[in-house]
Every structure is written in C-alpha cells, then in structure tokens.
Amino acid sequence: MRIRRKQLVVTLDCAACALIAASLAAPAGASDHLDTPSVIVDPRADIGDFYAWTAPDGRHLNVVMTIVGHSFSDRLDYSFHIDSGPRFATTPKSIAISCRFTAASHVQCRAGDVDQAEGDPSNPAGLASRRGHFRIFAGLRDDPFFNNVRGTRAAYNVAQNAIEGGAPVDGARCPHFDRATSRSILDQWRQTDGGPGKNFLAGWTPASIVISIDLKLVTRGGPILAAWASTRSAERQVDRAARPLTGNALLGTLDTAPVSDGMKEDYNAATPADGERFAAEIAKNLGLYDGFDGECGNQLLVDRAVAPASRYMPLARLLADDRLWINTRATTCTQLFAVELAALAGRKTLKSDCGGRTPNYKAVMVYRSLLTNATNDSVDDGVEQDEQKHSDAQFPFLVAPAAEYRR
C-alpha cells in the first residue's frame, strides 16, 4: 500500500545522510511508496500491493492486486503478467490476464486468448470464466499489508543522528555504526512511540482484484513462474508492481524531487525486461540497509571481492528484475524470496517452498532483513500480522473490511 509523499529539502552533505533523509520524506508504511506525479493524479491507477502464490490444492495460481483508490477506472486495463519457464531466471512463455471495468459492477477479463469472463465480480464466491479456467472477485477488501511506520522513522532518525555525529561511511555508501547505535536502530524499529509496534495501515480498505486460475494455463513454459502487475491507459503503462519496497524505495533516493520523479516515472512505464538499466541506480542506494546491523558487506548476494562501488550489483540486478518468483511444484508457501534464495544463495530448505507472496507473509521483515544481513528475520518492526486473518486457501483470500475500518 502506498502513502503520499511529502516534500523535504535535503541539506545534509553526505550520501548516507541524504539517503536517510529521503527515506524520512515519506511514511514507509507502504509496500509500493513514494508516488510519482502521474500516479498521484488518479489513485485508481495506483497499485498498492501485489500477491501471487500456488494454491494449496496444487492446481491453481492465486493472484491479488490492491489499488490505492477505492474504486476502479473504466479507462484503465488492470493486468497480471505471468511468465513461465523450466528454472529460475529462464521464462520463455508468458500470458497476461487483463481486466477492464466498464461499470462499477461489470468487468471484462481475458486470460490471453484462452478464456474470458464478463459480468459482476462483486460476489465473494467469484465470477467464473466462460470455460471455467479462472474466477475473479473485485471490490473493497481489508488490506493485508502491515508495517510499523513510526518505528521505521524512529530507526532512521537514530541512523541519521549517528552519521551527522561522525559515523564513517565507506565507498559503497554503507555507514559503519558502532554496536550501541546498531542496537538502538533495531530496537527503535520494533517500537511505536516507545511502546509495542503498531500497524500504521490498520483497517485500510483498497479496491482489490482477486483471481484464481488453472496452473495449466500459466505454466506452459515450465513450473517456475515470475509474476508482476500493471495498470495501463490507452496511452501508456501508468504503474507496475511486484516485490514490495523495490521500485519506488531504491530509485532516485539521493536526487532532487524532479530527477527522482522522472526516474520513477520511467521505471513505472518499463517492464521487468528493462530491469538492467535500473540496476546501477538501485545498487547506489543499497548501502544504507547493509549498515543497519553494524556490519558492512554482509547483505544478501554482496560481492566482497570487487571494488566498493560494485559491491551491491548482484543484488541490484535481482531487484531490478522486479517479479515475484513462484515454484508451482510446491504447495507450501512460507516466505518472500524463497525461490531466489534456493537458486542463488544455496538455501536448500527452501527448494520445496513456493515463494511468491501470500497475504500473510511478513514480507517487509524478510525484505529488510535480507538487505541488512542476508537473514530472514533480523529487522523486525514489532508487527507480527494484520489485524484480520486472511487466507491463502479460501477465495477471495482477503477478508471483508471490518465495520469500524471501512475507509
């Protein structure tokens, strides 16, 4: 879920200070945050979060797209892009599931040239496609994303104060914090105003598109999938999303607002196939995260053998190819990056994990931890789950908004 950006003039004179200040410029409570101007204009084009995972029955792929606006536009296509292949990083076949809302209670969806659905998608049981290969629900649901925004800001404040106070920053832009500072950063992250961590997004109710589709339609290239979502007008692609916290958190972080906005607009209009041209920029902004635990050089996929300026390129390239990877041979889904970790980091225990992202993953914790020290749970913001319990098995997965939270 994305939160609107506030203006901030960065006056700090070191790169890591600027990175922290830029991070503080907007609440970090959103999975896809720091909006660009064209997305702010119409929140119905603004993808908050994207989820994709293998159904427990082993016969379906489930995908969910949440939209920051509380309704859908009749001028936009809402699309799920599913690439498939025999192994990680090789996906020769693709299919798109594209939906257009002609009215508030009427949708037209096509799964490539194989099947289509048309009608009212608001019934929680779902609208079945003509050939029965998929079903769709669309409407307001409780947002499953959870994040302790105030704790995140407090942690960044500790880091910023330490750097202003003289903590050294290396050639890869990684700050070297002492043990006490690092402990304080991680402690503040788990708190909200000195108390237990609280979810900033409690009760948020985005418009949501939920689809369950037969695996045989989306695995024509092989059992390994890479998925992403987009919104598109007649003129151009407006927004895209896959993993949380990549596209809008690690691009243009050290630049002025016009430069940063231009870079993010370019990114939102691109596809994962264009990822390589964003890798160098992402690499520039990974150093801060690497330093949070007090040790530089232990981030996921960090290359210690190269010059500092190239240290983060392996991870940057992985993040630049911004797709959720799903192993459809597995029906157990436990964490974000499972497929990538099994393929690239030798995590053998994750070879039987579907990866992707279910509505109940502690996605932010895993993401930040991997960027800090290649673990799964070292950066915990104190929020264990959403206020409501969502399902990875029962359609439409996201629960209806609680009465007190309908907003």
Structure confidence at residue 32 (pLDDT): 57
pLDDT per residue, tens digit, the chain (407 aa), is 444 333 222 223 355 666 566 555 544 444 654 467 777 788 999 999 999 999 999 999 999 999 998 899 999 999 999 999 999 999 999 999 999 999 889 999 999 999 999 999 999 999 999 999 999 999 999 999 999 999 999 999 999 999 999 999 999 999 999 999 999 999 999 999 999 999 998 888 999 999 999 999 999 999 999 999 999 999 999 999 999 988 777 888 767 888 888 899 999 999 999 999 999 999 988 998 999 999 999 999 998 889 888 999 999 999 999 999 999 999 999 999 999 999 999 999 999 999 999 999 999 999 999 999 999 999 999 999 999 999 999 999 999 998 755 55
* CA distance linking residue 212 with residue 59, whole number of Å: 10
Residue range of the domain that includes 238: 1-407
- Cα-Cα-Cα-Cα dihedral sign, residues 364, 368, 373, 378: negative
Rounded (10°) CA dihedral 332, 337, 340, 344: -120
Closest Cα to residue 67, out of 51, 39, 46?
46
Structure confidence at residue 19 (pLDDT): 59
Q: Are 113 and 17 in contact (CB under 8 A)?
A: no
| Count: domains in the chain | 1
Structure confidence at residue 104 (pLDDT): 82
